[in-house]
Structure 1
Amino acid sequence: MTILPLLLYPSLTALLLYVLLNLRPRHPNRLPPGPSPWPIVGNLPHLGASPHQSLATLAAKYGPLMYLRLGFVDVVVAASASVAAQFLKVHDLNFASRPLSSGGKYIAYNYQDMVFAPYGPRWRMLRKICSVHMFSAKAMDGFRHVRQEEVAILTRTLVSAGKSPVKLGQILNVCTTNALARVVLGRRVFADGSAGGDPKADEFKDMVVELMVLAGEFHIGDFIPALDWLDLQGIKNKMKKLHARFDSFLHGILEEHKSGKFGAPSHGDLLSTLISLKDDADGEGGKLSDVEIKALLLNLFVAGTDTSSSTVEWAIAELIRHPKLLKQAQKEMDNVVGRDRLVTELDLNELNFLQAIVKETFRLHPSTPLSLPRIASESCEVDGYYIPKGSTLLVNVWAIARDPNVWADPLEFRPMRFLPGGEKPNVDVQGNNFEVIPFGAGRRICVGISLGLRMVQLLVATLVQTFDWELANGLNPEKLNMDEAFGLTLQKAEPLMVHPMPRLAPHVYGSH
């Protein structure tokens, strides 16, 4: 008899929540179309395991501007270039801030970073610091040699693998992380990634991937606040544990830098600049605290490493599946660069086919398939529909780049579409053309777009120039698994295992 009341409590709670939910005032204005919400949870069940794909399927039915109710939260989804331009260009300022989220609270130092920070003076200060000291044209050119040296080390690592298969994504991640670390910290943080690898590098990549997966999850507590304390999915607990690991990593870096453990800090690196700004009042945002410095480092190391390495991994996977395209790219490389030296960043502008390959990779495999959410500061109207104040905006970058109304044979890997005579010869990926926006667009466009583009182009160019590629275990390229693992970044579900076979003379790769 005593069990019956216990069984009734959840039912009564659910009934009460349902009643409360349905007592909420309806929007008097015309909302965008969308699927009917379930009681209490709204449209959360519609998202499935791969929300970018599920939302694309729904958009095919309801149109490129959709309204969803996720729990108690109004959500609008943009799934075409024209609708995305309305939000990120016409109404950009209204959608310049982020909604509150578990990721911002528990991973990003309670919104003290740049990615999750609300739009305002502090965000502008952090973005300005990065733009001036790290991503300006002068800074990019000044650190060109660093990127080229790290990519050269990568080629030697791959040569040293001999006949052993390599997990390409892992080695690429070491390269991108060390290249970034030398700019940010003035030193490398991992060993080369050769044969035995660096356990710290493996752990770091695992941490970054876990962060991207967790940050890409739709946490029920963010949408139904009454359930937040229950942490039904265990996401908050995982975020807190992961944050503690990252904080330990970043705290160690900061203290080592201050103490001069690795020699006197180079004043050309970003961290020295941040430390020098720590006690300086900034005209637009006040002083930088240790926590803000760590939060900024977290943004740079997470957003600036795995996004690039996973994009390059996708590119090589596509070229292995399309050997004629690989041969065409190698022929261009031999004609423009030759076979007696490694390709450099200064060569990239002349490598038109290579650039088209990179654009097509960004189109089919955007590193961020669903843009980081934004929030409507005020109500507005888009395409004749009412967008309520406080609505969360999701831009389905993945769906936009596969829109059959815009792209011919959208699921085909066809770099030629970006060349003269192709369907989109003048489209770039830098936020100016909304048909393909892997870095986002508008005020919250990725601050590191210049670095991301250069790093991906240089890595793909180098891997095309220096190696022929075979899949491990004699796998037929047609059987290569191209499934996606959803997270904030789009990983390959199955890591790419390859045999790199040098195609240039040994002296080009340098000493081991």
Structure 2
Amino acid sequence: MAPYGEFWRQMKSIFVLQLLSNQRVQSFHIVREEETALQMKKIEESASSSSALNLSEIFTLLTNDMVCRAAVWRKYSGEESGKKFMLLLKNFVGLLGSIDVGDFIPWLTWINHVTGFYAKLDRVANEIDEFLEQVVEERTNALKRKSDGDERVEDEGREDFLDILLRIHTDNTAVDRDCIKALILDTFSAGTDNTATVLEWAMTELLRHPIVMNKVQYEVGEILKGKPQITADDLEEMNYLKAVIKETVRLHPPIPLIVREASEDVRVMGYDIEARTMVMINAWAIGKDPVSWVEPEEFQPERFMNSSIDFRGHDFELTPFGAGRRGCPGTSFAMVTNEFVLANLMHKFNWALPDGAKREHLDMTECPGVTIRRRIPLLAVATPCHC
């Protein structure tokens, strides 16, 4: 959200190098494997009763646990404070997607006071700050006790993102305590919601298209050849699964409107755009443009087989994560997680809609916000797949 400039470049450099570089992303494979295995076990236990699973909730908890462990090496989902923070994150993302009338019509700012919008902003901001302050304070105290030689402080021989931020804080006055909390909040919110959204819509489309699901399961089974665990090398060979994810983010970009601010006066397609103009790029419409896509409303992963089009910002007909200097730096982190979780779901279980519901009746209504989640949580029934 910071204006483009030296400060923004410093913050992004820290973020990318210390958390989201390819080397760091690959180093988190143990976290992905352990957290995914825990969820697969829980799904298997629920599958024995043939009860419907809330996949929307499962994906949110799973991705949040992965992100928390990557950033601060600790999960909060099992704690009361963590459950409260998950609700705060949901409110935070919802507020980001709200329209502030005063931003566009200043003389109508008073409406936000009457509706309570500003009061809710203050409450959520203060509660999030209180939680993050506690996280940072606990780690600061632990590092101080460790430096004082306190042997009771746990030391697993690893330095996580929060440790690195606190170390940089001591050497760089530009990275103050608020910067640390803001970067951690970016990690928690974007890493949780965006990743869970892609998984949610991918499973939705697979449930609507059983033939596609069968193809994914066949591919996964052929590559694993009876192996119980999926490795990074296995994922590299799963081209159809990757195509399913590409088609998912084409139809359901997690962030449909990419907001940018023009840094200088520019002329685009005959329009004069002044510096500091807010520009909204409609990634949702780009992914459904009939000029670029054949049958753009249809879910057809095959369109990406033997295609060089990717979502990393080089092909402007598919820009779910933005492009250029302000493209999403967490794309690799999210995609590796999506591929690994989806491959495990396809490898270990068969899936169906609950109560014999027909796939054409599956509710596809979207919930408005910064990220576009399903309005109604995705429910599905899993049965173990012994293949």
TM normalised by structure 2 equals: 0.92
Question: Does the Cα contact within 8 Å between 2:265 and 2:273 map onto a contact in 1?
Answer: yes
1:276 equivalenced with 2:276 (yes/no): no
Change (3 A) 1:294 1:403: same
How far apart are the structure 2 equivalents of 1:489 and 1:210?
12
Residue of structure 1 in register with 2:303 after alignment: 417
How far apart are the structure 1 equivalents of 2:9 and 2:175?
13
Question: Does the Cα contact within 8 Å between 2:85 and 2:131 map onto a contact in 1?
Answer: no
SS class of match (1:279)? helix
Alpha-carbon offset, residue 203 of structure 1: 4.0
Residue of structure 2 in register with 1:24 after alignment: none
How far apart are the structure 2 equivalents of 1:356 and 1:293?
36
Equivalent of 1:147, from 29, 32, 37? 32
How far apart are the structure 1 equivalents of 2:295 and 2:376?
25
Alpha-carbon offset, residue 266 of structure 1: 5.4
Where structure 1 has 5 or more consecutive residues not aligned to the other structure, the ranges are 1-115, 192-197, 506-512
Question: Does the Cα contact within 8 Å between 2:353 and 2:359 map onto a contact in 1?
Answer: yes
- Measured on the aligned residues, the alpha-carbon RMSD in Å equals 1.8
Count of equivalent residues:
375
Equivalent of 2:69, from 176, 179, 182? 182
How far apart are the structure 2 equivalents of 1:403 and 1:497?
30
Change (3 A) 1:211 1:336: same
Residue of structure 1 in register with 2:133 after alignment: 251
Equivalent of 1:486, from 362, 368, 381? 368
For 1:141, give the aligned amino acid: Q
Question: Does the Cα contact within 8 Å between 1:186 and 1:265 map onto a contact in 2?
Answer: no
How far apart are the structure 1 equivalents of 2:382 and 2:324?
39
1:222 equivalenced with 2:103 (yes/no): yes
Deviations 1:455-498 (A, max 9, x none): 11111111111111122233222211011111000100110011
1:434 equivalenced with 2:316 (yes/no): yes
Task: Please list, as runs of the form range in 1=range in 2, the aligned pairs for 1:386-397 lying within 5 A after superposition.
Answer: 386-397=272-283
Alpha-carbon offset, residue 344 of structure 1: 2.5
Residue of structure 1 in register with 2:326 after alignment: 444
How far apart are the structure 1 equivalents of 2:241 and 2:280?
31
How far apart are the structure 2 equivalents of 1:474 and 1:129?
50
Residue of structure 1 in register with 2:121 after alignment: 239
SS class of match (1:278)? helix
Alpha-carbon offset, residue 262 of structure 1: 7.3
Alpha-carbon offset, residue 406 of structure 1: 1.1
Alpha-carbon offset, residue 190 of structure 1: 2.1
Change (3 A) 1:262 1:149: farther
Change (3 A) 1:414 1:345: same
Segment drifting more, 444-453 vs 468-477: 468-477
Deviations 1:207-250 (A, max 9, x none): 32322221112210111223324415432222211112211221
How far apart are the structure 2 equivalents of 1:200 and 1:496?
26
SS class of match (1:408)? coil
Question: Does the Cα contact within 8 Å between 2:265 and 2:272 map onto a contact in 1?
Answer: yes
Alpha-carbon offset, residue 345 of structure 1: 2.5
1:126 equivalenced with 2:7 (yes/no): no
Residue of structure 2 in register with 1:295 after alignment: 182
For 1:148, give the aligned amino acid: E
How far apart are the structure 2 equivalents of 1:190 and 1:241?
22
Residue of structure 1 in register with 2:263 after alignment: 377
Question: Does the Cα contact within 8 Å between 1:368 and 1:488 map onto a contact in 2?
Answer: yes
TM normalised by structure 1 equals: 0.70
Question: Does the Cα contact within 8 Å between 1:148 and 1:344 map onto a contact in 2?
Answer: no
How far apart are the structure 1 equivalents of 2:81 and 2:206?
30
Residue of structure 2 in register with 1:172 after alignment: 59
Segment drifting more, 443-452 vs 334-343: 334-343
Deviations 1:24-57 (A, max 9, x none): xxxxxxxxxxxxxxxxxxxxxxxxxxxxxxxxxx
* Identity percentage of aligned residues: 34
Change (3 A) 1:170 1:203: farther
Structure possessing the higher radius of gyration over alpha carbons: 1
How far apart are the structure 2 equivalents of 1:405 and 1:300?
36
Question: Does the Cα contact within 8 Å between 1:140 and 1:451 map onto a contact in 2?
Answer: yes
Residue of structure 1 in register with 2:145 after alignment: none
Alpha-carbon offset, residue 265 of structure 1: 7.5
Residue of structure 2 in register with 1:82 after alignment: none
How far apart are the structure 1 equivalents of 2:159 and 2:302?
40
Alpha-carbon offset, residue 366 of structure 1: 0.5
Question: Does the Cα contact within 8 Å between 1:170 and 1:205 map onto a contact in 2?
Answer: no
How far apart are the structure 2 equivalents of 1:379 and 1:446?
24
Residue of structure 2 in register with 1:80 after alignment: none
Question: Does the Cα contact within 8 Å between 1:343 and 1:465 map onto a contact in 2?
Answer: no
Deviations 1:2-24 (A, max 9, x none): xxxxxxxxxxxxxxxxxxxxxxx
Residue of structure 1 in register with 2:87 after alignment: 206
For 2:302, give the aligned amino acid: M
Where structure 2 has 5 or more consecutive residues not aligned to the other structure, the ranges are 143-151
Question: Does the Cα contact within 8 Å between 1:277 and 1:287 map onto a contact in 2?
Answer: no
Deviations 1:137-180 (A, max 9, x none): 22112221211211111101111213222211111111111111
Question: Does the Cα contact within 8 Å between 1:154 and 1:172 map onto a contact in 2?
Answer: no
Runs (4 or more) in structure 1 with deviation over 6 Å come to none
For 2:57, give the aligned amino acid: Q
Change (3 A) 1:353 1:141: same
Residue of structure 1 in register with 2:149 after alignment: none
How far apart are the structure 1 equivalents of 2:55 and 2:84?
16
Change (3 A) 1:220 1:272: same
